[in-house]
Amino acid sequence: MGTSVFYLVAFLSIFFSLMVIFAKNPVHSVLYLIVTFFTFTVHYILLNAQFLAVVNFIVYMGAIMVLFLFVLMLLNLNKENEPLKSGLLKVVGVVAGCCLVVTLIGSLKATAVSDPLVLQNPNLGLVKNLGKELFGPFMLPFELSSILLLTAMVGAVLLTKKEKV
């Protein structure tokens, strides 16, 4: 089975991310995005990055997607007033995106042939290893990210609060 798992999951990721941007109903987009993030979690597990897999599962699929769904339900958008761009702009956008992917893959073809991905250290992505890294050389950025989260929380509360007249 070997590498076929990777190709199957990669196909599912691409398929569901296409569904995200082409679904008419925003709620369907959110649900497809959750499935896409689940396939990314499988990718992390295949790469043996278990800590990232768990964080992706909890933070992205748990917290961020619930936030999206919550706001979507709060705003009460229904299909009728869903804004759609004109057909010409859609075609132009898709053509521009195809140009981007052709450029990226073409420039990649120009480089040397890549060697297969081999995991040298089996406990590279485990919590023990990453924790030592996080609290060693990356101590300051780790603490700064907590201030970033605090700032974001204060900002979100201030932005959504109704101002008293």
Residues 6-45 that bind another protein (CB under 8 A): 6-7, 10, 13-14, 17-18, 20-21, 26, 29-30, 33, 36-37, 40, 43-45
Binding residue (CB under 8 A) for another protein from 101, 110, 140, 165: 101
Q: How far is CA 36 from the centre of its chain?
A: 8
The answer to whether residue 110 forms part of the interface with another protein (CB under 8 A) is: no
Judged on CB neighbours under 10 Å (0-12, 13-18, 19+), 147 is exposed
How far is Cα 113 from Cα 145, in angstroms, rounded to an integer? 38
Binding residue (CB under 8 A) for another protein from 8, 78, 80, 118: 118
Binding residue (CB under 8 A) for another protein from 110, 140, 160, 165: 160
The answer to whether residue 165 forms part of the interface with another protein (CB under 8 A) is: no
Question: Given the complex with another protein, which of 160 and 165 has the nearer CB atom?
Answer: 160
The answer to whether residue 140 forms part of the interface with another protein (CB under 8 A) is: no
How far is Cα 119 from Cα 129, in angstroms, rounded to an integer? 15
How far is Cα 140 from Cα 145, in angstroms, rounded to an integer? 9
How far is Cα 117 from Cα 47, in angstroms, rounded to an integer? 9
Binding residue (CB under 8 A) for another protein from 67, 78, 79, 143: 67
The answer to whether residue 63 forms part of the interface with another protein (CB under 8 A) is: yes
Q: How crowded is the C-beta side of 158, counted as CA atoms within 13 Å? A: 6
